[in-house]
Every structure is written in C-alpha cells, then in structure tokens.
Structure 1
C-alpha cells in the first residue's frame, strides 16, 4: 500500500510539474483572442468540425455571428455536435449547417462542392482543418496513401472547386491547418506516379502525416501567389501541441494503440486544449487587420518564422502543386 501511494504521489507531482512547464512552452501555452469585430452575414466552411480544433473554431465563429458549415465525414456525430454548439451559444440552428464530406475520397469532395454551390449564395472563409494520422499505410479509394489523401489531396480539390464562391464573396480567406510536423520531412520528395513493385499505391513517395502537412504549406504558398489581386488570401498555421485523440484513434495494432494512448494521456496533461488551439484559426478567419495578409504561416495568434527550409523550396512546391492537380484529375499546371 505504501509503495502504491508513493507511486501515485510521484505521478501526481510529475504531472503537476509537466503542466507548469507547459505554460511556458511555445507549443503548449494557453492562448486567447478577442475579435474586435462581428462576423454577421459571413459564411464559413470548416472541415472536420465535429470535434477538436474544428469544433472549437466553429463555436468561436458562430459566437461572432457567422454562419458555419460543418463539413464532416460522420453525419451522426456532426448532428450531435451542431446541437451542442447551438445549445452552448444560443444561436439560431439555421446558423449551423451540416454537409457530408470525406476528404480521403475525391468523389465525396466533389459531392460536397456541388452541395455548397446548390445551397449557399456565398462563402467567405474556407478552413481546411480535418486531419488524420493512421500510423500505417492504407489506400484511399483513388489509390493514394490514406493519410496524405485525407489531409492534403481532398482539401486541395475542395479548395479548387470552391474558389469561384470565394472569389464571388471577396474579400475572403483560405486557411490550411498544417503542423510543425512538416519539419519532419528532411529529404527531397519523390513525385513518381508509378507504384513500387508489389504495391498498388500511386505516388508511393507521397505518404504520411509529416508529408501531408508540408504539402498543405506548399498549397498555401502557391495559391497565395495565384490569387494576388483577387481579394482572396491564403495562409497556413500550426495549432500547437494539442491534447487530441488524432494520434491513436486510427491505430491498427493493439501494441501501437497502447503506446499512442500513453502518448495521448501525456498530451492531455501538457498539451494545449482544442479551444486554445482554435484561437489562432479564429484570429486568421476574423481579424480585420489580416484582410490583405497572404502566404504566411501562423502560430500562437501571430505570424511565425518557423517554416522548415524545405517548406520554402519553390521548386518542390511547384512539383507538389502539379502532382496534386494530377491526383485530383485536374490538368492546369503552374505557370
């Protein structure tokens, strides 16, 4: 009994110390943002808005008067979240709309775009937030690595298909929720289309969470240049080290699941809450001073200089853009 009490006490003290240290860490400290303006009359689409950062972003923007479209894979969870948001904020239920979207499936992306064009008269902000990390290689319906497809390819196509609505609603904004983990890519990427022997995966050099987050930054950088003078801005961001189930909810082996659940437990102690992480996204979506800011990388409710050298490589960005166009069945190349 004494040993058990000693262990529990040590764990408690350790947890408290970790939590105190997290208050001073750049990636875990609490954040806040008070928007100086309302967003009445604005329509905002958030992918993956039924939980985590997406949900908290939706709450924040609905509270500012915006109409929020929750684009989610699981409609049942999305409906429950929408009801919770309406109860919590007291807004009219018509201010929170749900549309089905599985970003790993390009046909689902196209169906989502058709729905938006058919039902919405404007789109002021597109927040590409949905993210996943399976921890293993599996294929999307189009034959791409699942994590890369869900995090980057689907959002790339969705942005392309909704650009006309964003341009029509100008001034408008595009926000790609990336990650510091883009720095995990430390070698030049292969853009070869052909599968490796014994594999059915197209573009075998484009896989995994780190690569998908780097691709989102490349997408942002080129998009911001292409949209110059059109009153549409594009920026990316790092939400911080967030207490979230993303790292273990899709693990495929029990041993991996247990290890990642331990990681999830530690993140719940030292990690930033989804509400804190959402503050930077809300700032990027709503702050009037950012109306003409484009091609930037944000964190901690500010512009950041923490991009990796690879993220600043214009040639690799161009290659990623062109291959992404091919993966989405589009033909226009960068000029």
Structure 2
C-alpha cells in the first residue's frame, strides 16, 4: 500500500523540474527516440545546446520525422542525427556501437530508453523477446559503449553518464523465476511463462544488474551509471496492454515532456547517483527486496548468467568492464 500511495503522490503532486543545464559542446545518444519520452528528452538536449544528439531508432522513417519535429520546435539544425538501432537484433546493437566508437569524437551521455511491454510470448535471438530487448540488448549496448564514454572522460575532463530507464513496477515484480537453476532458461520456458509480470521482471533485472555492475567497478569510476523511474507517462510503451490499463494511463499519466525531464536529469545527476535508483529527479530507495539478502544473491546470479550470454554474443566484451575499472 505504501508504494501505491507513493505512486499516487508522485503522479499528482510532484512535477520534475524543467531542465536548464547547458549541454553545449556535448554529444548524446538517446535510444527509442522517435516517440514519447525519448523524443522529448532528445528535444531538451537540442534545446540545451548539445552539439550532437543521436536518435537511435528502429524505424529510420519515424526517426526522420522525429528529427524534423525537433528542428521545427528548437530552430536548430545540423545537430540531430538518426541512426538505426534494433534491440531485437544483437548484430544491430554491435553495428551501432561500432559506428559510435569509431565515428564519434566524444560521447558524453547515453540514455537507454528503448523497451517493450507485451503480453505475447515470443522468442527472439534465442530468448523471450522482452528479456532480449529490455535486458540483454540493453546491457550489450551499455558495455559496448563504455570504452567510448571513458575515453571521453579522459580526453575532455568531463564525467559522462549512462542512464537506463527503469520503472516503478520494480516494486511489484514477484520474480519467482529467480529460484530456478537458471533464471534465463526459466524465463524462456513458454509453458510456465507469466507474461503479465514479464515487463516488471525485466525492469527489476535492469535494477539488479546496474547495481551489480557498479559494485564491480568500485569507487572513482569515470562514468556514472544509474537507473531511473520516469513515472507513469503517456507513450507507446503500453500500446499492447489491456483496455483497463489504458484508462488508468488516461487519468494518471504524466505527459511525455514532463516524464522526459527525469531522463535529462539522470544523465547530469552527478557522482551521488552512481549505481542508484532515481525517481522524481532524486536518489530514491529501491524496493526492499533489492536491498535484502535474497536480492543480493539474485543480483549476483542474474549478472553471472547475463554476463555469460553477453560474452557469447560478443567475445571479450567483459574486458570492457575490466579495462575501464580503476
């Protein structure tokens, strides 16, 4: 009940502050940037004088329309670039990361906003689709871009950020799959799949893995990594959900622009936010499960399984963590 009351208070009585900090001279990548939170966050970065804002999108046509919308509203051109990125394809993630690493002079912030929420079970790249997109590809992209972020820190004397959009639904994930011999194998089992909880579970795994990665990196790491809750917002994320959920959104949801302010805040939140859960633009306590002994064990288990899968997708990727840790 407490988490529900907190949710209502946030939705009705808290308005994230309008972003005003300059991004002059900086380069930002925003995934899922053709609509909703990603589009509005990208619009803020352009408005705030970013030198380059990359819209990482699955549909180039939609990306170009988003670019035009941003240029029309900000009166700034030659800032936004549209790059293809399909989190349903590991090869697409690798190609995107290679392009960023080789062609960008600097990379100051990555906002991993793209995600899916679907009640339909489907395997994609050998794993259930929600887990492929929201967890495996999300961290594949993160680890592949970390060396570029650290290089920017070293050569430009700045502190880059990598922020992953999480959700308040982590407070409601039951996650019994964690008790199976293999979390991922259990999540890939169609017969026992619990798809109504799958999005919640995927975001809880994001929280756990972010915390584990940051614990491995230790103090003094030159890139700030955090995960954030933008609140319930109007977006295309829940386009596949049932009608009752639609009406809940209709009455309770923030606008995409208001929600996007939390994304912009997260990539400028500073060292105190490293490894932390952000909500309403402040460091907030995650669910009690995350902080429990069970949560700590699950955190290590989820990372152990995920890191093995990432290494199988891209041999040597874990060196990106070891090489940038100090």
- What TM-score comes out, normalization by structure 1 length? 0.80
The Cα shift of 1:174 comes to 1.0
The Cα shift of 1:187 comes to 4.4
CA distance in 2, matches of 1:31, 1:150: 29
Q: Which runs of 4+ in 1 moved over 4 A?
A: 21-24, 193-196, 203-207, 330-335
Matches within 5 A, 1:96-245: 96-140=80-124, 142-170=125-153, 171-188=159-176, 189=178, 190=180, 192=182, 208-227=198-217, 228-245=219-236
Preserved CA contact (<8 Å) 1:181 1:213: yes
Query: RMSD in angstroms over aligned alpha carbons?
Result: 2.9
Match of 2:156 in 1: none
CA distance in 2, matches of 1:98, 1:279: 21
Describe the superposition over 1:131-190 as per-residue Cα deviations: whole angstroms up to 9, x where unpaired. Answer: 1112121011x2100011111111100011011101011211111101111223224513
Alignment gaps of 5+ in structure 2: 154-158
The Cα shift of 1:300 comes to 1.0
Match of 1:58 in 2: 42
Q: Which has the higher helix share?
A: 2
Partner SS for 1:235:
strand
Structure label with greater radius of gyration: 1
The Cα shift of 1:285 comes to 1.6
Preserved CA contact (<8 Å) 1:48 1:131: yes
CA distance in 2, matches of 1:193, 1:309: 17
Alignment gaps of 5+ in structure 1: 1-20, 252-256
The Cα shift of 1:240 comes to 0.8
The Cα shift of 1:33 comes to 1.9
Preserved CA contact (<8 Å) 2:273 2:283: no
The Cα shift of 1:191 comes to 5.5
Equivalenced residues, count: 299
Matches within 5 A, 1:37-116: 37-66=21-50, 67-92=52-77, 94-116=78-100
The Cα shift of 1:123 comes to 0.9
The Cα shift of 1:311 comes to 5.9
CA distance in 2, matches of 1:110, 1:32: 34
The Cα shift of 1:97 comes to 1.1
Partner SS for 2:246:
helix
The Cα shift of 1:307 comes to 2.5
The Cα shift of 1:229 comes to 1.8
CA distance in 2, matches of 1:194, 1:216: 14
Preserved CA contact (<8 Å) 1:28 1:242: no
CA distance in 2, matches of 1:22, 1:122: 39
